[in-house]
Structure 1
Amino acid sequence: MMPAVPTDDFDCQSCGACCSYSADWPRFSMESEEELARIPEEFVSADLGGMRCENDRCAALSGVLGQHVGCGIYAIRPIVCRTCMPGDDECLTARQALSAHVLL
C-alpha cells in the first residue's frame, strides 16, 4: 500500500493518469442497470463490461494528459471512477505508470 499524499499536490483536471493508464481499469462493478443505461453507448466497451478505451485511454476523457483534461460523462461516471481519489493507491499507481510518458 502506497502512502497517502496530500490532495493539494494533485490537480485532476491537469493530470488524467487514472483515465489513461489501463484499458482494464475502467470496469463496471456495482452499477445498477439504470446507472449503466445513462452512459452513452459510444463510451461503453464492446463486451459491455466497462468503458471503451482507445489504447489505454478512456473514450470519455478529453484533452491533453498532463496539461488539461476532462471527463465527458463526469456526472454519470462509473463507480470505479468515483472511488479513485487524488493521492490514493489507484491514483499513484496510474501516475507512476504514465510518468515515463507525460510530465504529471
Structure 2
Amino acid sequence: MIAETPMFDCQSCGACCSYSAEWPRFSTEDEADLAQIPEALVAADFSGMRCDGVRCAALTGEVGKHTACSIHPVRPDVCRICMPGDVECLTARAAFGL
C-alpha cells in the first residue's frame, strides 16, 4: 500500500509567513532582486522582510483560512525555498495547530 502525501494549500495556510520574525531573512538575493521589494516591507536594518510581531508584513489575510503574499512575484529567496509539506512548512503549521 502506498501512503498518500497530504496536499497543502498555501493560500489557505500562511503559517510559514507568520511563524518567526527571524525566518524572512535575505540571503542570496542580488541588489536588483532586493530593489523590487517595496521599501516599506523591508526591515529597518535591511536584513530581511519587515515583520509585525512574527508575521511578515507582506502577508495578507487570516492564517489558516485565506492568505496571500502581497509581493509574491518578487518575494525573497527564503520564501521561495519553503515548499508545501517540507520540514519548515510542517514546523510552522504545527505552531498554528494546522
What is the TM-score of this pair, normalised by structure 1? Answer: 0.87
1:56 corresponding residue in structure 2: 54
Cα offset, 1:9, TM superposition: 2.0
2:10 corresponding residue in structure 1: 12
Q: Which moved more, 1:90-99 or 1:36-45?
A: 90-99
Cα offset, 1:44, TM superposition: 0.3
2:36 corresponding residue in structure 1: 38
- State the AA in 2 paired with 1:12: C
Separation in structure 2 between the aligned mates of residue 41 and residue 72 of structure 1, nearest angstrom = 13
Separation in structure 1 between the aligned mates of residue 34 and residue 7 of structure 2, nearest angstrom = 32
- State the AA in 2 paired with 1:58: C
- State the AA in 2 paired with 1:37: A
Structure 1 gaps, min length 5: none
Structure 2 gaps, min length 5: none
Q: CA RMSD in A?
A: 1.2
Instruction: Detail structure 1 runs of 4+ shifted over 4 Å in the superposition.
Output: none
